[in-house]
Copies of this chain bind each other. A is one copy, B any other.
Amino acid sequence: MPIQARSRERVERILDATAQLVLVDGIDGLTTRGIADAAELPVASLYQYFSDKDAVLLALCERDMAEMDDQVARDLAAVADLTIASMVETAMRAFVKVYHRRPAFMQIWMRGRTNNAIYDYGRHHNKRIAENLLAVAASARIVDTEAYTAAELAALAELAVEVGDRAFQLAFERDPRGDNFLLDQAIELVTGYLERIAKRP
């Protein structure tokens, strides 16, 4: 097996093992030895692939986040009539799909944010999501660029994403599959809020 492939395989195994462990023991219970054991490799070998423990968590987030971004992009591309409402709904439903597909990721995301690395990554990622969605909306010319400055729009978008995030947290806390009533409400809430930036006809 070529070294690179072996390396990639091991990294995946580490990430999967970490995901499983977080699911079972929570973020606080996570140890390097635990990860190594679960991934069936020596502890010291972890450090060949990751600089430290936080880096593992981060990589896990990144991997699954990339999947989430893909899902959002793909689903948005399939929307015929792009409005603020359809965008919000599509994006948020895409999130839910990935949370369902990756329960461990959901756990880490929802409950693991005391870890500074994850927390910071989360803030950073939410900001990027907000920017991306704003860009899509802008290029679809569905944003009222006259009533708000660019900075205000950015702040609004980020607020909306964060608030949606928290609402989902609540929904997934109540039910590991996401409480349906709360999911719907979350979407309504964010939609309602963001419609103020929709272009007035």
Binding site for B on A (CB under 8 A): 26-28, 111-116, 119, 123, 152, 155-156, 158-159, 162-163, 165-167, 169-170, 173, 181-182, 185-186, 188-189, 192-193
Contacts and interface: CB of A to CB of B under 8 A. Distances in A.
Contacts of A166: 162-163, 165-166
A167 B119 CA distance: 16
Contacts of A182: 155, 159
Copies in the complex: 4
Contacts of A169: 162
Contacts of A158: 170
B181 A163 contact: no
A159 B155 contact: no
6 contacts: A111-B114, A111-B119, A152-B181, A163-B167, A188-B193, A192-B192
A28 B115 contact: yes
B162 A28 contact: no
A116 B107 CA distance: 13
Contacts of A156: 185
Given A166-B162, A170-B159, A189 B193 contact: yes
Of A119, A152, A188, most B-chain CB atoms within 10 Å: A119
